[in-house]
Structure 1
Amino acid sequence: MPITQLIGKAQIIEVPYPQTVTDNFLSSRLKNIKIAIFKFGGDRLDREHPYFSIKGVRYLIQKGIRVVGTDNFNIDSKTTEWQIHHMMLGQEMMIVETLFLEKVLPGVYEFICLPLLIKGGEASPARALLID
């Protein structure tokens, strides 16, 4: 996947606890962009984190989202056994997890994410920036 896919306009969408990201949730919020970043409040480790539903992921795919970011450690619920990961990666969507979004307000920003190039790797640490 080209690194240019990780650079562009991104929308920060706040997801209130305990909301699940469904197609209905997205239909009234998602703008015409290719990078969607979800602010779940990932700094709260003392509870089950919000997650994506299968219908929500299908909606993202239908809308042409290429990158999904989140402040959570995982985009799957504890019960989906990586199904959400597999759906997104099967569509060549990139997933960026554990973003620090504590002080970021919802809106549209320029997003730049620079992962390390690791030979044979399937994941990488990355430096991600939002520019207002």
Structure 2
Amino acid sequence: MTDITRRLYDGHPVWPGDTPCSFELTWKMREGASVNVGKLTTTTHLGTHLDAPWHYVEDGGKLESVPLSVLIGPCQVVDARGQRALDAPFLRSLELRAERVLFYTGQPDEWRDFPQEFTHVLPAAVDYLAERGVKLFGTDAPSVDPLTSKDLPGHKAFARHGIYIVEGLALGTVRPGGYELIALPLRLEGADASPVRAILR
């Protein structure tokens, strides 16, 4: 079993301008409290996370609309290092065999600073993934669109095809091939996203 979830910690980098990640103890046994209790303040898009369609489409489904069946099952890990953008020709060169496909683009498994450049996904590539029956797309990048994108063509293409997105995976130690994926979010009602604990076995 391999944990492909980014380690979270106080001050973990977040998307520029998003809510900083902060963890602190509000009750402390060393100061006389009966237990230690922590407080977590963060964005819903922290580290390894699942986007709900509502994040990028106003009438899209919120987090509770994402079927658990999509988040558990056979998956394929693809080595996509060296690709500035995932395009249809590159995807056609692969033998895609699973409904869940995770792309290792070369992002380190731990971010000390938020990445400014990373591999994004072109809409034509999403069209091809849909033709192949893909239901879940995963990436080690923090987004499927470039950092400066405002119209989010990648996200919108995934929305058109009903393909769910997991971003920020930690895939640096994973060999390409077939696995079983489990990537479960918090049960947040009405949310746009949630951190997930993602594992392969």
Scaled by the length of structure 1, the TM-score of the pair is 0.89
1:29 maps to 2:94:
yes
Aligned residue in 2 for 1:114: 184
Counterpart CA distance in 2 for 1:76 and 1:106 is 23
CA distance in 1, matches of 2:147, 2:95: 25
Residue 140 of structure 2 corresponds to 71
Identity %: 32
- Distance in 1 (CA, whole Å) between partners of 2:129 and 2:168 is 20
Q: Describe how 1:40-51 pairs up with structure 2 within 5 A.
A: 40-43=105-108, 48-51=117-120
Of structures 1 and 2, the one scoring higher in RCO (CA 8 A, sep 6+) is: 2
**In the TM superposition, what is the alpha-carbon distance from 1:106 to its structure 2 partner?**
0.7
Q: Deviations over 1:66-113 (max 9, x none)?
A: 000011111112454311112112322111111111100111111111
SS in 2 for 1:24: helix
RMSD of the alignment, in Å? 1.7
Q: Which consecutive unaligned segments of at least 5 residues does structure 1 have? A: none
Q: Distance in 2 between matches of 1:22 and 1:35?
A: 17
Tell me the residue number matched to 1:3: 68
User: Which ranges of 4 or more aligned residues in structure 1 deviate by more than 4 Å?
Assistant: 44-47
In 1, Cα distance between the equivalents of 2:182 and 2:115?
A: 30
Structure 2: runs of 5 or more not aligned: 1-65
Using the size of structure 2 for normalisation, the TM-score is 0.60
Q: 46-55 vs 117-126, which deviates more?
A: 46-55
How many residues were matched structurally? 131
Q: Which has the larger radius of gyration?
A: 2
Contact kept? 2:135, 2:164, Cα under 8 Å:
yes
